[in-house]
Chains A and B, each alone.
Chain A
Amino acid sequence: MSGYAADVAALARKDLKLELRARDTLPAMLLFVLSTLVVFHFALPEGSGDEAAYGLLWVAIVFTALLGLARAWVPEREHGVLDGLVLATSDRSAIWLGKAIATFAFLAAAELVALPAFALFFQPLDAAAIAGVALANVGICAVGTLLAAMAAASRTRELILPLLFLPLTIPLVVGGVGSSISAEAGDYLLFLALYDGVFAVLSWATFEYVVVE
């Protein structure tokens, strides 16, 4: 493996191992997404369109992702490890990519439970909807990982992450809901791919400036 890929793999593996041992973030995300879905059942008045539920699925996904992202950089911050990582890797974007991949894994794991639960409680999910979830995950993890790194360095930490993150998720929610309910799901999937392309490249290119002064 080339140096870059090896760095990324090592970093992602470290995060996954840490989570496997500590088991605090992923169970929390799972419970959170299930609780949210149940709350939504009570929040949807009788006679709401079937399609309203899809909107709520995406709200649940975004906020579950927020939960995971708030914890994403905590190990690095608690042990002052980030400076060491910055020195150890030649390309700092590898730190971002490794973290983003790990976050993606956690989010996907949470969705493995959330999506069947949603299908059970609310509405069926077709292939386009699931593809939408997968594509949106990429965008969420790419952008969220970078923003979480900024939030970790700020005075207000957990408070500011949602403020930075939510406006950027609006296009993702549009794409996701569209791919779930629209007849032309392909357009929305294409749009999600566009978002992913633009923001993944941007995050990859600018992460260096977020961790180095």
Chain B
Amino acid sequence: MSTSSSNSRVPAIAAVAAGLVGLSLVLIFFVAPEDADQGISQKIFYFHVPIALTAYACFGWGALKALLYLWRREERYDLESYVGIHQGTIFGALTLVTGSIWARASWGVWWAWDSNQLVLFLVLFLFYSAYFMLRFSVEEGPRRANFCAVYALFGVALIPVSFLAIRLAEDFIHPTVFTRDGPQMSGTMFFTFCVAWAGMTALAYALYRVELVGKRLDANLRDLREALTT
């Protein structure tokens, strides 16, 4: 299975990501206006929300590859699903950290149970962390790939269901005074947001491709070692 031709594009993908993220930083700090209500800390939003959206995308991508694995049974889909979910978990953790910092900046608390997005990511983080525990506790092979693929599909079903649950839970969790209306985004702000979103997505994809190259290299070397020592 030839991956070397597609691998040659990875540096270009990384360069595009670097460019987009760089551009978004320029826009965020030099072009986008400061928010009237929240002040300068509002700018965390330009990274925090794209990172969250990218995490969702990674989990979706991982689930898609999982579905393809169960359908086509090609080993590469299992690896791609795993790496996708790995990226999603990293970006999910980043969502929690940046969200917590933003909560501290906006409301003075490091955690807020009424921030639906934060709570949703906490649930998802727990769920996908268990994915790795599952993966490392089963012998490598088709059964492990099956388990992980099924679990990845459960994850993607959990996202909307959890979101609904957390919304419903607002009813009996004490409503606090913490509200954060989405900033009334001016055109510049929206443009900056879009560039930052594109940048984060490109970054996630670049990291995903780089990780895949590394893992395939590992596998090839293992095969080579086997061939040379028998």
Interface residues of A (CB under 8 A from B): 51, 143, 146, 150, 153-156, 160, 163-164, 166-168, 170-171, 174-175, 177-178, 181-182, 184, 187-188, 191, 194-195, 198-199, 202, 206, 209-210, 212-213
Contacts and interface: CB of A to CB of B under 8 A. Distances in A.
Contact of B172 (A166, A168, A181, A195): A181
A170 B171 contact: no
B15 interface: no
B172 A206 contact: no
Contacts of B168: 174-175, 178, 187-188, 191
Please report whether the interface of chain B is mostly helix, strand, loop or mixed according to DSSP: helix
25 contacts: A51-B172, A150-B134, A153-B147, A155-B139, A160-B134, A164-B151, A166-B126, A167-B123, A167-B127, A167-B130, A170-B165, A171-B158, A174-B166, A181-B172, A184-B171, A187-B168, A198-B161, A206-B150, A206-B154, A209-B146, A209-B149, A209-B150, A210-B147, A212-B146, A213-B141
A181 B154 CA distance: 29
Interface string B48-67: 00000000000000000000
**Most B CB within 10 A of own CB, among A146, A181, A206:** A206
Contacts of A175: 165, 168
Interface string B152-164: 0110011001101
Contacts of B137: 154-156, 160
B172 A209 contact: no
Given A210-B147, A210-B150, A167 B164 contact: no
Given A160-B137, A213-B142, A167 B147 contact: no
Contacts of A181: 172
B172 A178 contact: yes
A202 B67 CA distance: 12
Contacts of B151: 150, 164
B154 A153 contact: no
